[in-house]
Amino acid sequence: MILAPMKIGVIGAGVMGRGIAQVSAMADHQVVLFDINHDVLKQAEIGVIKNLDKAIELGKLTADGKQSTISNLTYSNSIAEVKADLIIEAIVERLDVKSKVLSDLAEINGESTIYASNTSSIPLTQIAASFKYPTQVVGIHYFNPAHIMKLVEVISAEQTSQEVLEQAIAYVKSVGKKCIVAKDAPGFIVNRV
């Protein structure tokens, strides 16, 4: 499946969120990086620019590539601005918090959006169980640092539709990462090893 550029929402501008936003923007996806904390957003922007400058220094990115990435990435502390084809949450590892944020995003985005979690420990089936659109929930688990690590796990909840799983795999490949599909089990694959 060839994936056209998408609108991506990344929730949480900490180290993982900003790395996910960066690799998505570098792959020509239009990205909104959301965090309720303005200072965290500012630090994320500084961190992304630092990473891009390092990539130029190492000969892995051109100045035009940096500019394109910057123009593909916006920063927001308004959840209402997160209107996307794919949303990836990278927030605190608490089911109640993840469920609340995803519920808020479902009211803004609706049933056609894919809702992905970067969780490393919460079963996706639990996240999907209380969600308005359970077939649209999938795991997209990046490893730290997201802009460097090549491996990404894609995890299907019991409720995840085959189409959503395939689109998640296509997204991971579109950002130049190696994708492995994992079962929804504690720790998935890599964290269990």
Annotated active-site residue 191? The verdict is yes
The verdict on whether 163 is a catalytic residue reads no
Distances (CA, A) of 44 to 13, 15, 92: 6, 8, 16
Catalytic residue among 89, 141, 147, 156: 141
Does residue 41 contact residue 77 with C-beta atoms inside 8 Å? Answer: yes
Question: Taking Cα atoms as reference points, which of 192, 171, 170 lies closest to residue 182?
Answer: 192
* CA distances, 153 to each of 60, 66, 90, 171 (Å): 24, 27, 14, 12
Q: Angle, to 10 degrees, between the axis of helix 63-71 and the axis of helix 15-26?
A: 110
Catalytic residue among 72, 117, 120, 174: 120
141 assigned to active site: yes
Q: Which of 89, 117, 147, 153 is an active site residue?
A: 153
Is 38 a catalytic site residue? Answer: no
Where helices occur in 27-161 by DSSP H, the ranges are 38-57, 63-71, 95-109, 124-129
Catalytic site positions: 120, 141, 153, 191
